[in-house]
Amino acid sequence: MPRKSPLVIGHRGAPGYRPEHSRSSYELALALGVDAVEPDVVSTKDGILVIRHENEISGTTDVADHPEFADRKATKRIDGQQLTGWFTEDFTWDELATLRVRERLPQVRVSSASFDDAQPVLRLTDLLDLVRDGSEEHGREIGVVLEIKHATYFAGIGLDLAPLIARDLRAAGWADGELPLIIESFERTVLAQLQELGIPASYIYLIEASGRPYDQLVAHGRQATTYKATVTPRGLDALVGTVDGISVNKRMLLARGSTIVEDAHARGLKVFTWTARPENAFLAAEFRGDGGKQAFGDYESEWGALARTGVDGVFVDHPDLAVAFFRG
């Protein structure tokens, strides 16, 4: 039986109010009533999984202010895109632990940026312990939606993420099926690897509005299935039995005539969407209001359109607004 209202998932915690992936961001999300939180994982040089949106960390930490790490600045190709900055895989965990986190969007989220430079980077095991403790503190079951970043890239430099994730989930007591665990990635290869390692979870395939998955592009070149083809009835047929659902860019659900949710549900697949944010900067054009990028637009109309699709889960940056709206 589908839920009456979608799961409210704190996207990187509560980054509308605190720097993303910080301890205070997650603690606030739990306190504001989320059903689950979503950490992204990447690896250090010595195989420690850390919670960062990307392996390039100049925009979310104070690494550029550390003269001892000036020589670590590098230019790399990550999933086909050239980036210059500082990368987690060039640091040991002990080195990364000296950094402090920062707001990624300081122009849009001025208040959140006031918490810059106060908190360290979290490891995956830190986050898993935090959510378990938070579930007990708040008296309700809270899940983790674990997003795996750049698995093909990391495998190419000798850091296979699947066994590292399995290691940490087992060490933290999240690999026995008792706690609500969802694992997601834009790359199905790493999801299959974790299934083979026997990690009990719901497995969700992340879908962009355009382009092709990087693992499939590496394996099949331009013959790789596009993300758009994946959410057609034929593409969804091919997912049945391999994953439990999909998580799509909200633009795909807001597109006129979209039948993605009903097509997926007809095949027993769940559908999540990302990211429900109230600021004009992130709303579809028809829902934007006055006051510039950081002002809240008519987010309730956009969120209402998402809810009417029958979506099973929504990633949110402002958990209090989302809990009030989607459960109201």
CB 25 within 8 A of CB 119: no
CA angle 300, 306, 312 (to 5 degrees): 125
CA distances from 181 to 27, 124, 126, 177 (A): 18, 13, 16, 8
Predicted pLDDT of residue 241: 97
Kind of pairing between the strands at 49-51 and 40-43: antiparallel
268-305 in b/e form (b: 16+ CB < 10 A) is: ebbbbbbbbbbbbbbbeeebbeeeeeeebbbbbebbee
Task: Enumerate the domain spans of the chain.
Answer: 7-55+124-326
Distance CA 185, CA 189 (A): 9
Predicted pLDDT of residue 328: 73
What is the Cβ-side half-sphere exposure of residue 165, based on CA atoms within 13 angstroms? 32
CB 113 within 8 A of CB 102: yes
Written in H, E and C, the secondary structure of the chain is CCCCCCEEEEECCCCCCCCCCCHHHHHHHHHCCCCEEECEEEECCCCCEEECCCCECCCCECHHHCHHHHHHCEEEEECCEEEEECEHHHCCHHHHCCCEECCCCCCCCHHHHCCCCCCECCEHHHHHHHHHHHHHHHCCCCEEEEEECCHHHHHHCCCCHHHHHHHHHHHCCCCCCCCCEEEEECCHHHHHHHHHCCCCCEEEEEECCCCCCHHHHHHHHHHCCCHHHHCCHHHHHHHECCECEEEEEHHHHHCCCCCHHHHHHHCCCEEEEEEECCEHHHCCHHHCCCCCCCCECCHHHHHHHHHHCCCCEEEECCHHHHHHHHCC
Predicted pLDDT of residue 286: 96
Tokens (6 digits) for 157? 């430099």
Question: What's the gap between Cα 40 and its chain centre?
Answer: 5
Third-level CATH fold of 7-55+124-326: TIM Barrel (3.20.20)
Distance CA 259, CA 273 (A): 14
pLDDT tens, N- to C-terminus, the chain (328 residues): 345 689 999 999 999 999 999 999 999 999 999 999 999 999 999 999 999 999 999 999 999 999 999 999 999 999 999 999 999 999 999 999 999 999 999 999 999 999 999 999 999 999 999 999 999 999 999 999 999 999 999 999 999 999 999 999 999 999 999 999 999 999 999 999 999 999 999 999 999 999 999 999 999 999 999 999 999 999 999 999 999 999 999 999 999 999 999 999 999 999 999 999 999 999 999 999 999 999 999 999 999 999 999 999 999 999 999 999 999 7
